[in-house]
Structure formats: structure tokens, C-alpha cells
Structure 1
């Protein structure tokens, strides 16, 4: 019985053990199954995450892989005036120009198995991963040269899983499309060597003033080790750390059997300070070349024009400027220097708030000769005051009133116009600058003295006799485009009559050269790094008859004669015509800021010779109480005329050249010219009158500002 009981208990224990074992096995299987599923899920998540990061990676473009080659800008004579390198020091080198030991030093230091592994070096990668677990993410890197090229071309130095995934993906792409030698060459040209130096060739020049082939082994080792932490190993700041880094690289070169022990020891005994170029802290600064600031306004214009060519469609400015292009321009560097010097240092300013913009174009071709975007202008600001639009005052009377009348109705320069003390158009009252009427006046005197009422009557007559859009079409022909209707206020410089000095310089050049309009253009041609030449076209068209342009030119020469609005600012020995412009404020502004009655907002001088056409605008960046930031009185309103006279008297040839009189014009006197074959029955022989009909004793105090009875801004002159 006892034996039977023992047997029964034994069987029970046996079954219980088996059941327990089965449970353990099931649990293990479940755990393994869970781990497998978890691994698969995590793997899928990892794959999807990698795919997502790869999808979000920057575009893989060839242009970003190429090391930047700064653009060079040349003047009209082909002389280099600026290299646009943002202060960086770069030189390109082909791999076959790099000495064997220089290559060996880089490979031993950065990626000894570069030619043996793929985009990633998994042997180094797994070792780095193990160290990252103990030291934290990013504590140990395993980047190959390929990965470093990718990072410098497309990514940032941020340490994140996303960046690493994108780096791996783009590195794979890079190795699929480029050879190892091509990637190595990219690396050697992209790597940073401190002090704004990029590329091993530039580094050799900067630190040792040597070609790569002339570096000794110690210098090669230093340059190979410097990029790991460039500022820390910069020999100028940390000479001991630099020597130590050199020795480390030499040790690695021997360790990887790339040099002998003897070579290592000899190089370690060679100081890298032996041939080091001594540089002051000022010489080491990474900044734009300030020695060419006088060209900055022009370079700003070049940049704006550069991208207008279809050859660069879809590219950005930085990409083009780093592609090694050579840009040949119309700049006359002597004229450019003169203009910017006078703008910076002239005595035509009331205070620091006063602003100025000026442009000079070649009268014959329209090529932009010089431009100033403002006082002490630097090409780091968004605004260029020579290309910004400003209210024009009376500057446009030749294009909205008298030019269209001569062009369409064959008016003579002594065509009679009845001036009045006040004149209403569309319910608004307009007056002359002197608040007086001058009776019957010639077109010649009305324009050169800048009377408002005759200009409005001329504009009205042209619309009635030549068509409602005749003034607008004439203005559009010289690049002064209006979208809507032109009203009386626009004729006198109202809100829609806002144009830049560059536009006005081009418009007046059409008067100077016989009626041919050429829009201001800075670029003649661009030569790409591969030698391909891209030519730049510009707008060129017949804008007016040669009779119209000549008659306008002769009338505007009278601006410098007695009673003219620029009297006293003529240039000895130079035939020059001009139109001034002065703009007033609205009545509310005068009241709000307590401005004097003779306070002006904008002042202009637009002058031209057979050689140059120059436009100057002056204004203020804000209105201040009492006229502090206004041009108060005639003398201050002459400021742009002084600048014009100063510059043009310096740059203009004294060759006696005059505007060419065409056969289509009859008459020998400026105030009695007519279109050949056409009679003008409405002419006058009345002598010119001074301001308010006064004698010549006050003829040098003319101003061409205007206002209506309410000082409405719509009637700015």
C-alpha cells in the first residue's frame, strides 16, 4: 500500500514537473516571439523613420557639391574691381596636384580605409556606437570623408538622429554618382582651416605662403590635422596645441604604414613655425574687403541685374556668385569713385538724416557708368536709393507735357502759352511756384523756368489734339511707365509720378542722344567658369523723333541761363541741359510739423551732356518739427544742383561736343526752333521774365517748387 502511494505521488510530481516545464517553454516562446515581433516592429519603424528622414533630406544637387569659386567683377576696360568672396579665402586644387604625403596625412587622420569601404565604414561605426552608449550620443564620431563632404555640402553640424540618417542616405547617393577620387577632391577643397580659409591649397598659401608641392612633411601633417577642431589648433592662437596636433598626425601616418619611423621623427623635430607667415590680428580678420566700398552701390545694381538672364532661371543669386562667373560691366571706375566720393564727402547736406541717390549713364548707349545708393553706402542693406522710386516733382514736365506736344503737334520752342496766376483742373486749383502769372510765355521759357500752369495747359492740349493717351505713351517710351490714367497732379510730380534716379537718367539720355531710349544696364556679358559667354541684352528703341529730342535738349540748356531753375550751375566748356524738380508736402503735414511755407520734401537735378546723363535725388528719412528735416528755402533746394555741378565738372570732357542738330529742325536760336515742314502759327516773341516778372537782379534765386491754394500734395512741382 505504501509502495503504491509512493508510486502515485511520484507520478503526480512527474506530471507537475512536466507541466511546469511546458509552462516555462511556452513563456520562453512567448517572450522570444514578442522579442521577434518587437524587433520586426522596431526595424519597420526604423526603416520608415529612415525613409522619412531621407525624404526630408535636402535636394541632392551637383552645384552644392562643387566648392564655391567667387565671382569676379570687371569694369568697362576689363580691369578687375571686386572679387565677391565675403571675406573668405579660397583656392581650388585638382587631386592630381596634391602631393602623395599630403593625401596620406589626410587619409591617416580622417579616414584611413576610405578607398576600401563604401559610403559608411561599418567597422568604425560599430566601435563609435559602443562608445556613444557609454559617453552619450555624439561623443564619438565615425564619419568617412564621404560623410564629411555631404555634411559640408547639404547639412549642418547639428548632432541628431535625423541628421545622421540624412547624412547616411546622401552619402550613399554620393558614392553612387561619383568616384572615390572625385569625392576626395571635393573634401580637400571644402574643408575649413580657420581664419576664413577653405581648401588645402588656400591653407598652404595662407599659413606658409607655399604651393602644396613645396610643403615639408611637418607642414603637411599640421594642415591635415587642423580641420578637426580648426580654431583650437590654429597656430596663431594656440602654437603648442598646433605642434601637438602635428605630432599626432605624424604618429597616425606611421601607425598606418604611410611613412617610416625615421620620417616621423624628423618631421616631429621640425617646427611648423619655421616658415609660418606672420600675420597681424587685422590681417587675419574675416570680413568683406572694405577697400572697394566706393564700388558697393554699383555691385548692388549688378547683383539685381545678373539674375534677369534666362540662363540663370531657377537658380539663386548665391549659387551663381559662387560658380566662378566673370562679370564684365559698363562701370567707369574713375567716374564711380568720383561720384561716391562727392556723395560721401560733399557739403550738400543739412544733417545726417538727409539722403541721396544718384545715377550716371552713358548718353549714347545707356550703359550704367556709375551709381551711388547713398552716403557711405555698403552692399549689406536692402535699399539702394539710386534704384528706389521717389516723388519726382517737376522732373517729368519734358515727358508729360512739352515733349508730347512737340512730338505730336509740332510745337515750336517759341509756341505761345498763356500763363495765369491760378488755374483749375478737375476742381483743383494749381499755381506757379511764385504764386504769380506771367502772361503769354514761350514754351522755351515755360519749361526752363518750370512754370506749372503752362505745363498743365500743354498737357491738356496734347490730350485733346493727339489723343488722351499721348502723354502717357511718350513717357512710357522712355521707360517711365504708368499703369493708370495720368492726371494733372502727375504732370507736376504727384503720387503716381514716382521714379528712381536710374530711370530718370535713362529717360533724359534719350533727349541727349537723338531720341533713342536705352534702359540703364550694368552688365555687358558674363563668362561662366567653363568659358561659356552669356551676353546681356537691354531695351533699346526709338522713343521720340530726333526733332523732338533736339528741341527739348536746346530748351533745357536754357535752364542754366538767367531766370532758369538751375541758373548758376552750368559747367564751363560743356554743353549741358537739365530739368530740376522740387516736391512739397500736403497741407496737413505742414500744419502737423509746423513747417515753413517754403519747406520742400524732395529735390531733384536731372542733367545731361552728349557724353553723360546724370540724375540726383535728395530727401529725408523722416519728417521732423519745424523743418529740421526739410529743404527750407531756395539755397537748400539747390543741394542736388551743387552735387551735379561738382561731379559733372570733374568727369566731363571739355571737347566742345554739342547735341547734333538734325535736318528736321529749323532755326538757330534755342527759343525759336521749329519742326521742318511744319508751321506753328501760335508763337510769341515775348522776352523771358524773371521770377514774378522781376528784373534780372533776382534771377539767381529761382525755385521750381509749387503748390495750389491749399498746398495740396497733388500739385507738387
Structure 2
């Protein structure tokens, strides 16, 4: 009985143990299931955007040629399933997941084997991830090994296989895998290592690439060639083992040397492989800005946009972009490392952004884009605030006369020319090409008084130059104050002058095509903003900037019809004092010019101020740096097709000058626009003489070497070097009439060749009560190498820079002979660089007495 009872107790105990174990197992299972559900609930959301790979953006030029590719940190090209050869599929499947097409999201057979090895070798010692799990891990999870991550991986893998086919998942895998050196995706890897398409790879090369992702850096053939070869052989062995290749094919491929077709790359090449081409960085910066402003991309980050496989079609001139950035990077004329440049090149006719440079060795995101940042524009603003508006509204002819003066008071503010001199009566053409300040200010005031206080503001606004206030003053008219704009804006404004008055907003992007073949178009503002006569007459005057006495003389390009305006901005008075800057130190220097093909705006400045002018443009040689860059680039990219700006029917030529068709010749002289009573008429003969003097000056000054210098008052100075075969004098004649007559001040420039006889005489002109009476004293200086005249002393009428056939008949000459010899009074002031000979004549004024 006892034995039977004992057996019953043992059986009961066994049943109890089994029951307890079952209950415990059930509890563990329930707890595990609950834990799995909890981990799954915490898993990242399953969404299509996370599955998408970072795909590069391709940028095409104006001719739809591929210019550059943006990889945004991951160099990757996408491949489609049918582009993957069977050989490559077999290599990958044999190595990573041979039963991929047979099992579900998880391969429980491999999982069981992995569990046993993990028990003996520790958790994580053996993996059993399917291709589906690897896609999930790379799309949603991290590399961290934990129960939580494995649970989430299993859940998301199940979700993935419910949503996508096996072929889709296999393609995802092939595009996501990392292949070392910043390379992602099998298509990119084939080109990077062997410069081949997938279909052209040998069996050995396919095997190597299939095995590389297991330990990308460890099997990198550049760093570990022996390990790479062994990994290749292992993959070939697995392919044979799983009956994907024959033994003969295996052995042949194992004997193949991977370095036979390997692309040679230096260490430096490999470090920079995922960086974008620096030559296009400035252009990419503009592309990003335009994308951000397009409503189609509203609310999206620029990184997400540019990693979504876009094809961007631009207005880029690839050659111009490369030439420009190379010149900006390698220009030898830079003063120091703190000097910077910003340049924009537009298509004159369309406004398309042909090229842009944000600075030396520009890097997007890292550096400010100096071509889109505003800078003080200096005298480049004069055609926009003064001369353009006055032609548009007042229809001034190009030889309209303006009374210059040494100082000009506007509401208590004293303005002067760059050279602090009074140049007498000057034409609008000469005032612009020589960049005098006082005539520009008077013209600006005429526009405000006659065309309305906002006329210049509106003219600038129509050209894309938006001031913060409509109340523009003389500081803005000379390029200071609020006159701060970018090279991109200045190029767009000037291109309208070269385009018959049609303004085109500068644009980089024509259209964008998404990965899904959706086309997004980009539009820009284009409208007529000025009369064609205004555009053409301003252009014709700006052509003279490259002629003798022009502010950019010496930097013209033979064979190209160009117009341009230079500019220089100065510092505030306290800056000169605080930093001990030279008087001729300049802050910003510019040139904005155009041909019928291109418009180019160049700014140069410094990243910081330094004492003693170290970081300033001091003197002529430094202030012409933008002109040198302008010439170097424009001469390289231009087509030299002989194209010129079309003269519209609204413009009539009168000798060497232009006027609006249908208008009468304007012989008035603008003196003080604030007092209309000071305007007076000069004789037709005098007007004709002024025009002829200009023509004669241009004709006879060919040998003269002339260069632009400092713009002390936001203008340009001109230094003149006189050849030894000529005697050049610059004389200022001040005419003062009687109390009942009007007063004029005019500057007369004479040049007498060495073969001519030049005399210096006092001219006294007396007229009747109905005639103009003036007294002029001309003081000249003859070169020391020239003998004094031996002619009988006389007082004669002096004709300046006019053709020999021209005579001035409007003055009565009274001759007085000195008792013994002719007396001359001469004063020489020389100021120029040591390499130049500059002669500035002193001014002598003598008033007529009643």
C-alpha cells in the first residue's frame, strides 16, 4: 500500500511539475507576447518616406547637358530591378539570403540555427537577418543589438512584406547597402570601383561587390587588398555551394585579379569623393534659394528636397561658370587673403543666370555668397538714379551741358568731385564717362524737381533695386547711404540698358523634374521698364568709359562692343581717423558692364577693416582690380561675333552725339537745378564747338596712356600720362561778366603736338553793350625741353582742341603788345604714381571791371 501511495504521489508531483512548467511557459509566452506588442508599439512609424533612399540631384546647364551632381553627403545612384543582372542577383542571394524568395519576413530555419549559436557564443554572436530585415534596419532602426530592436525589426519586416513584393524589397536592399568610401548602392559602387555598368562586371567583380557590404571598411580593396581577394573567393564558393555557378566558373573567377580593372584613386581622391564640385557651389547656393521660394516645395527641408532624386534644368553657361570661378580663385592681383570678390554674369537678353561666384574658393553653407550679398555700389548707381531717369523723363541729349563747380552745397552738405576740381561746363556724356560727382548731383536734382520726387526711386525699383525709402538724397545718388545692392542685382539692372529697356529678373532654374516625372516650372518677372531711347543713349555713353579719359580706359577688349560703369565707395570720416587710413583708401570697388551677349557685375572688398590701409584699396593699381577680373573673364567667354546694340528709331545721331528723335537741340546749361533763373542759353557756335572739341579730343588722344584712379567722393579720378611727342596742358578758364551779364565757367583742354607752335597769351575780349563781354586769362606751362617763342609779342585769340578749319567768330579781340617781351605765368602741380607723368594746371581768375 505504501508503495502504491508513493507512486501515486510521484505521478501527481510530475503532473504538478509539468503543469507548472506549462503554466510558466504560458506566462512567459504571454509576457513575451505582451513585451513584443509593447516594443512593436514603440517602433518607428512605418511610412514610405523612410524607405526612400537619399538620391542625388542632377543639375543640367542651359543646353540640357549634365553639369554636376549633388550627393548631399551620400554618393548614391538608384538602380531598378530589371537593371540588375542575374549574375549580381545570384551573388547577393548566395551570400546574404539564399532562401529569400521562399521564406516570409523571417527565416525561422536560419533563426533557429542562429539562436543555438547565440546561446553558446553570447547574444549577437550570430545573425540571421533576411534581406527584408536588413532593409528595415537601414530604413527605420539603428545598428544597436538588443531584444527591443530585434522585436521592432521583426514587426516592421512583416509590415514591409505585406506592402511590397519580393522584387521591390530586393531592389531596396541593392540601393541602400553601404560600400565604403561614402558610396551607397550597387550601381554607384560598380562605377566607383571599376568604372563599369552592372551589366559589364565580371563574375569576380560581382562577387567582390556582393561580399563587400558585410564589413565595408574591412574589405575595402584600396586599404585591404588581400582581405578583399579572400572575400571574393568566399562569395564565389557560396555561389557554387548553392548551385548558382559551376565549379569551373568558380575556379576561373577565383584566379582573376580584382586590381585589373580597379580605378586608381589616391587617398585625397577618396576623402573628397562625397564632396560636391566646388566650381558650381555658388550656383548651387542660388538654386537652393530659388527652390525655397517656390510654393511647390513649401514646408519641406532643403536637404530632403535635394536628396529626392531631382533633375534641375538651369540657365547656367557651363563654360562661363568654370572660367569665372577659376579666375576668382586664382587671380594673382589680390592684395591679401582678406580681400574678397563677388561676381554675377547674366545673359543680357534673357536675364538667365549664366554664372556666379560667391567668393574665392567658395563653399556653400560655409561662406557668405558675396555675389548675392549687398554692398555699397559707389558711382555705378549714377546711370540709374541720375542719367537714366533724366533721359527717360526730360529727353536730354547726350551733349546736354552741365555747369560743374569745385564745391556744391545741398542743404548745408558740401559735395566735391573726386579731384576736388571745377571742370567748367561739361556735357552729360563726359560727366558720366569721367564720373564727375557735381554734374551727377545736379542731374539727380533736375529729375526730382521736374519729373517728381519719386522719379529716380521708381526708375531704380523697376530695375529691381528696391530702396527702403522713397526719399532718396544726394548720398544715394553718389552710391552711398542706402545705395547697397548685390552684384546679382546690379547685373540685372544694367542688363536692361543692354536689352532695349526690357528688365528680366535674374533666374537660375528653368524647371525641375522630380523622380516621379512631375515637372515644376519656374517663372520670373520680365517687363519693359524704360523707353528704348533711354536704354540706347545710356549704353552709348557708357561705351565711352573704355575710351580715353573714361574711368575704365585701358581695360577694354578689342572686338567687343561693351558698355560699363565703374564705382568706388569710401569709408565714414571716423573710420579714416580711427584706422589711420590714407585719404585715397577705398572700401568697395566695382565694375558693372555688358555686351549684347553677357552682363557682368564685379564687386571687390575686404572681410574686415585693418589699420593703415592694409585692408583697403589704396591708389590706382589696387582700385582697378575689378576691371582686370572683368576683362579676363569677359574676353574668355565672349563669342566675338561682332554684335552691337541695336539703335532704335527713337534715337537720332547729331554728329557724335545722340538725341531723342523729334526733340530740338538743347543748348541750355544746367547750373543750379534749385534755381531755374540761373539757366541760360549759349550760342549755337559755342554748342557746336563743345561737340567738336570732344571729337577732336578722342581723335588726337589715342597715344595717351590714361588710367582710372581713386574715387574720393564716390567717383573715379583720371590720371593722364603725356607722351614725349606731345605737350598736354589742362587749363581752367573762369569767365566773369559784368553785373548786367550772365556768368559761365568752362574748362578748356588743349593739346598741341610737338610739330605745332603753341603760345601762351592773355586774351582780352571787349564787346558792345549788346554783346557778351568776358575777360579770360589762360595760364599755361611749356615743357622745359621746348624753346620759348621768338615771335613778336602779340595778344591773340586761343582756339582749343578744335579742328584747324574751325574758327571762333563770336568774340572781338583787342591786341596789346608788351614793350619788350611776352610774359607768361605758369604754375605746375604734379601728383601721380611714380610711373606716371601728371600735369594739373592751376586756375587763375581775372574779373572784368566796369
For the superposition of Structure 1 and Structure 2, which TM-score range results when normalised by the shorter chain? 0.7 to 0.9
Structure with the greater relative contact order (CA < 8 A, sep ≥ 6): 1 or 2?
1
Q: 2:372 aligns to what?
A: 387
1:51 to 25, 34, 41: 41
Alignment of 1:417-436 (within 5 A): 417-425=402-410, 427-436=412-421
Partner of 1:457: 442
Query: How far does residue 678 in structure 1 lie from its aligned partner after superposition?
Result: 6.8
Backbone CA RMSD of aligned residues: 4.0
The reply to whether residue 84 of structure 1 matches residue 84 of structure 2 is: no
- Matched with 1:5 is none
Identify the match of residue 622 of structure 1 among 600, 603, 608.
608
Alignment of 1:296-695 (within 5 A): 296-306=281-291, 308-379=293-364, 381-425=366-410, 427-485=412-470, 486-529=472-515, 533-669=519-655, 671-674=657-660, 676-677=662-663, 680=666, 682-683=668-669, 685=687, 687=690
For structure 1, list consecutive stretches of 5 or more residues without a partner in the other structure.
1-24, 709-717
Alpha-carbon contact 2:91-2:235 (below 8 Å) kept: yes
CA deviation after TM superposition for structure 1 residue 106, in Å: 2.6
Partners of 1:149 and 1:437 in 2: CA distance: 80
The CA deviation string for residues 244-301 of structure 1, in whole angstroms up to 9 with x for no partner, is 434544565567x5558x7399449823526742443418725249996544434443
Asked if 2 retains the 8 angstrom alpha-carbon contact of 1:60 and 1:170, the reply is no
Q: CA deviation at 1:336?
A: 3.2
- Relative to structure 1, the CA distance from residue 144 to residue 488 in structure 2 (aligned partners, 3 Å threshold; closer, same or farther) is farther
Q: TM-score, normalised by structure 2?
A: 0.69
Q: Name the counterpart of 2:261.
A: 277
**Quick check: 1:342–1:643 contact (8 Å CA) kept in 2?**
yes
CA distance in 1, matches of 2:388, 2:202: 74
Alignment partner of 1:60 out of 32, 47, 52: 47
- Partner SS state of residue 417, structure 1: strand
Is the Cα–Cα contact under 8 Å of residues 71 and 322 in structure 1 kept in the other structure? yes
CA separation in 2, counterparts of 1:575 and 1:265? 69
The match for 1:3 is none
Structure 2 alignment gaps of length 5 or more: 1-15, 670-681, 695-699, 716-850
CA distance in 1, matches of 2:477, 2:100: 73
In the alignment, is the contact (CA less than 8 A) between 1:563 and 1:702 conserved in 2?
no
The corresponding residue for 1:16 is: none
Q: Which moved more, 1:667-676 or 1:186-195?
A: 667-676
Q: For residues 271 and 100 of structure 2, what CA distance do their matches in structure 1 show? A: 33
Give the C-alpha shift of residue 597 in structure 1: 0.6
Local SS of the residue matching 1:644: helix
* Pairwise CA distance, 1:511: 0.4
Q: TM-score, normalised by structure 1?
A: 0.81
Aligned length: 668
CA distance in 2, matches of 1:104, 1:329: 41
Matches within 5 A, 1:190-229: 190-204=176-190, 207=193, 212=198, 219-229=205-215
Structure showing greater radius of gyration is 2
* In 2: Cα distance, 1:457 partner to 1:52 partner: 75
CA distance in 1 between counterparts of 2:225 and 2:637 reads 53
Query: Given that residues 555 and 670 in structure 1 are in contact (C-alpha distance below 8 angstroms), is that contact kept between their aligned partners in structure 2?
Result: no
Asked if residue 706 in structure 1 is aligned to residue 713 in structure 2, the reply is: yes
Greater shift, 590-599 or 549-558, is seen at 549-558
Q: Distance in 1 between matches of 2:655 and 2:31?
A: 96
Alignment of 1:263 onto 2:247: yes
User: C-alpha distance in 2, partners of 1:273/1:151?
Assistant: 34
Deviates more, 1:438-447 or 1:628-637: 438-447
Shift of 1:428: 3.6
| Distance apart, 1:484 and its partner CA | 2.5
Q: Distance in 2 between matches of 1:549 and 1:632?
A: 34
1:624 is displaced (CA, Å) by 1.4
Q: Structure 2: how far apart are the matches of 1:604 and 1:127?
A: 75
Indicate the structure with greater helix content. 1
Q: In the TM superposition, what is the alpha-carbon distance from 1:706 to its structure 2 partner?
A: 0.8
Give the Cα–Cα distance (whole angstroms) in 2 for the partners of residues 341 and 212 of structure 1.
35
Shift of 1:605: 0.5
Provide closer, same or farther for how the CA distance between residues 543 and 127 of structure 1 changes in structure 2, counting only shifts above 3 A. farther
CA gap 1:496/1:157 in 2 versus in 1, 3 angstroms: farther
Cα displacement (A) at 1:466? 2.4
Is contact 2:70–2:306 with CA below 8 Å preserved after alignment? yes
Which whole-Å deviations, capped at 9, do the CAs of 1:354-413 have from their partners, x for residues lacking one? 111222212111122222222344556442222222211111111122222222233333
C-alpha contact 2:401 2:667 (8 A) present in aligned 1 = no
Distance 2:655 2:626 in 1: 29
1:551 positional shift = 1.5
Quick check: 1:95 aligned with 2:81? yes
Secondary structure of the residue aligned to 1:371 is strand
Q: Distance in 1 between matches of 2:184 and 2:555?
A: 53
For 1:66 and 1:53, the matched residues in 2 are separated by: 18
Give me the whole-angstrom Cα distance separating, in 2, the residues matched to 1:209 and 1:494: 56
Aligned residues of 1:524 and 1:535 also touching (Cα < 8 A): yes
1-side partners of 2:594 and 2:569: how far apart?
Answer: 21
> 2:570 touches 2:588 (CA, 8 Å); kept in 1?
yes
Partners of 1:173 and 1:668 in 2: CA distance: 83
Whole-angstrom distance in 1 between the partners of 2:149 and 2:390: 68
